Copies of this chain bind each other. A is one copy, B any other.
Amino acid sequence: MTKIRAAIVGYGNLGKSVEKLITQQPDMELVGIFSRRDTLDTDTPVFNVAEVEKHTDDVDLLFLCMGSATDIPEQAPGFAAFACTVDTYDNHRDIPRHRQVMDEAARAAGNVAVVATGWDPGMFSINRVYGAALLADRQQHTFWGPGLSQGHSDALRRIDGVQKAVQYTLPSEEALEKARRGEAGGLTGKQTHKRQCFVVAPESEHERIENEIRTMADYFVGYEVEVNFIDEATFDSEHTGMPHGGHVITTGDTGGFHHTVEYTLKLDRNPDFTASSQIAFGRAAYRLKEAGQTGAFTVLEVAPYLLSPTPLDDLIARDV
């Protein structure tokens, strides 16, 4: 089998996860990492991102592991000129525009760009569409978490006396049960999620700190809030990861009969799973181009078998 020659653009958490997980893929090899920095702490060859056109002949697929805030919108179309691309652009409202721009760039170069992969957008998007297509008379809810919230963790750390802190957002069990019964119709985000804080601080300050948390407008007021004070050793061993996940729940009525479809992710390390999805859809980008396609594809436009390194006939025999 000719391996897909892949390269990574950007070397933050996501790029590092892709680098690690490509080694698990039987059909891919990692050619190098394109970065603005001259040296990176890795054994993978590092190339200057400004010289990507020098490597066009050696690379089939670019994993665009850049930030969604400005890098992806500004730079992604340029990369689509050089090779197939796959990104994890996660600005939901802007995805139609991004797809359009990437479509033009990829089409002009005869490449395929798969956009907005990962898990939300990504696997959750797919499950929203499947759930809604299966159940015409339906309710659908997406829940996120338990997941680390960077902004809320920062807010906790700004409180006087707080030494270390993290905040996880998680679905309320009651709201999940309501969604499964199709009774979560009028619920807002504040009613469906709770905020769980783990804080390291001197014991004499606990009462004041807890009060400051519970009364912090915009961040915590109106939510179910749980404040846990823990010691530093517990914090360091249990609360330095990047867990995330969630649920897409679709319920439907078929003339008096209730049906529940639920897709659940429980992820110990958010960037690793986002990278897992990006890698699978990167494979699909390459295979779509091999099949003569060009242009941009969202995850909704990619047939499931294209994500797998296993040949279609084997998948049909094993998994259907």
Contact = CB atoms under 8 A, between A and B. Distances in A.
Interface in A1-45: 17, 20-21, 24-25
16 contacts: A20-B255, A21-B254, A96-B313, A96-B316, A96-B317, A128-B319, A129-B308, A133-B307, A133-B309, A254-B275, A259-B273, A260-B265, A263-B263, A264-B264, A298-B320, A300-B304
A111 interface: no
Given A260-B265, A300-B312, 16 more contacts: A20-B254, A116-B320, A121-B320, A123-B134, A125-B319, A133-B309, A134-B276, A254-B272, A257-B269, A259-B266, A262-B266, A264-B264, A298-B320, A300-B303, A301-B312, A304-B304
Contact of A319 (B260, B300, B308): B300
Nearest to A251: B266
A299 interface: yes
A230 interface: no
A135 interface: yes
Contact of A257 (B125, B258, B268): B268
A132 interface: yes
A266 B317 contact: no
A6 B35 CA distance: 55
Contacts of A130: 123, 126, 304, 307
B24 A136 contact: yes
A132 to B, nearest CB: 6
A216 to B, nearest CB: 31
A302 to B, nearest CB: 6
B273 A134 contact: yes
A146 interface: no
Can you tell how many copies of this chain the complex includes? 2
Contact of A300 (B20, B263, B315): B315
Nearest to A242: B257
Residue among A129, A252, A275 facing the most chain B CB atoms (10 A cut-off): A129
Nearest to A314: B96
B305 A129 contact: yes
A257 to B, nearest CB: 4
B316 A300 contact: yes
A52 interface: no
Given A96-B313, A303-B300, A316-B300, A25 B258 contact: no
A54 interface: no
B266 A254 contact: no
Nearest to A268: B257
Interface in A66-121: 92, 95-96, 99, 116, 121
Contacts of A128: 319
A261 interface: yes
Contacts of A304: 126, 129-130, 133, 299-301, 304
A275 to B, nearest CB: 8
A180 interface: yes
A137 interface: yes
